[in-house]
Amino acid sequence: MSSERGTSIRALERGIEVLRLLGPQEGSSLRALHAASALPKPTLLRILLTLERGGLAWRSIDDGLWRRSLAWTAAPSGHAIDPRLVEAAAPHLVALQRTVLWPSDLLVYRDFAMEVAESSRRLSGLALNPRYRIGYRVDILLSAPGRAWLAFCAAAEREAVLAHWRAASPSNPRTAAVLEGEIDALLEETRQRGYAVRDALFGGSFEDMAGFDDGFDAIAVPILADGGVRGAINLVWPRRYDLRAKVVEAHLADLQACAAAIAAALASPRQP
């Protein structure tokens, strides 16, 4: 028995070492993990894939970085983006893009704006907005995900956002115009319709469209879970094709089913 207690399993030790190097929020590249662990890259990749199959690690579809699974980590508190939401959403965003071809983004509310948490744009053939990456923030009043969040969040949350921007006096004249006289009707229309649309004069940033325009259009729906809005997902396509009505007719149900699947994944019990 004493000899058995003194015997280690080298493969398991390596797996534990790699798992310790992975963070739940800050991702790690294969190169960085190789440098930190000194493990050969083929061995390291096999370990990562084994951890992924076991639900202990996952790889972002947007930045390609590896992270520790949140099923084995305490959920974050405060205003930090919940990596468990991102982890739950990733496979569903991949499946949605394969079904409808147009890419999707997961955005979450953070500090009076919407922040990109995951995206399947790299899986599509669309030219990418060079600014658009995880952590990129967009106007909550003009973007489709922002309007989806505002329309379905709690009244107190919505009023806090609107009060903030009224006090801040937005520099974008379109944002100011929406805030001053259009937002209530827009959000009611969004609730009645069941999905949000991107403002026709939104270029994809906080700037006026004349200063920056990514050329996209979008629709978005909320992810409703845990008694609130955990985030929103969209479908995006080049605005020049004038496809909004066709996208809604053909793919709104797919987008809504994706949001429901993400919500269901969040509601499933965590593994111990």
**CATH number of the domain bearing residue 49:** 1.10.10.10
Is 12 part of a structural domain of the chain?
yes
Is 272 part of a structural domain of the chain?
no
Q: Where does the pLDDT of residue 66 fall: very low under 50, low under 70, confident under 90, or very high at 90 and above?
A: confident
The CATH number of the domain where 150 resides is what? 3.30.450.40
Instruction: Read off the amino acid at residue 265.
Output: A
Q: Where does the pLDDT of residue 8 fall: very low under 50, low under 70, confident under 90, or very high at 90 and above?
A: low
Query: What pLDDT is attached to residue 271?
Result: 47
How do residues 240-272 score in pLDDT, each as one tens digit?
Answer: 999 999 999 999 999 999 999 999 999 876 544
Q: Where does the pLDDT of residue 73 fall: very low under 50, low under 70, confident under 90, or very high at 90 and above?
A: low
Is 97 part of a structural domain of the chain?
yes
Residue ranges making up the domain that contains 22: 2-72
* DSSP track, 19-67: HHH--SSS-B-HHHHHHHH---HHHHHHHHHHHHHTTSEEE-TTT--EE
Query: What pLDDT is attached to residue 13?
Result: 84
110-125 mean pLDDT: 91
30-40 mean pLDDT: 86
Query: What pLDDT is attached to residue 205?
Result: 92
- Residue with the bigger pLDDT between 209 and 51: it is 209
Query: What pLDDT is attached to residue 159?
Result: 97
How do residues 13-24 score in pLDDT, each as one tens digit?
Answer: 888 888 888 876
Is there a contact between 145 and 107 (Cβ–Cβ < 8 Å)? yes
Sign of the Cα pseudo-torsion (66, 72, 73, 75, in order) = positive
Model confidence pTM above 0.85: no
Domain boundary at 72, 104, 125, which? 72
State whether 97 and 228 are in the same domain. yes
CB hemisphere CA count around 121 (13 angstroms): 24
Is 111 part of a structural domain of the chain?
yes
149-157 mean pLDDT: 98
State whether 40 and 125 are in the same domain. no
Which of 38-47, 53-62, 226-235 has the lowest average pLDDT?
53-62
State whether 127 and 247 are in the same domain. yes
Is 149 part of a structural domain of the chain?
yes
Query: What pLDDT is attached to residue 77?
Result: 46
Domain boundary at 44, 72, 100, which? 72
Looking only at Cα atoms, what is the longest distance across the chain?
78
> Which ranges in the chain belong to alpha helices (H)?
2-5, 10-21, 30-37, 41-53, 83-100, 144-152, 155-168, 173-181, 183-193, 244-267
Mean pLDDT, the chain, integer: 88
- Split into its structural domains, the chain has a count of 2
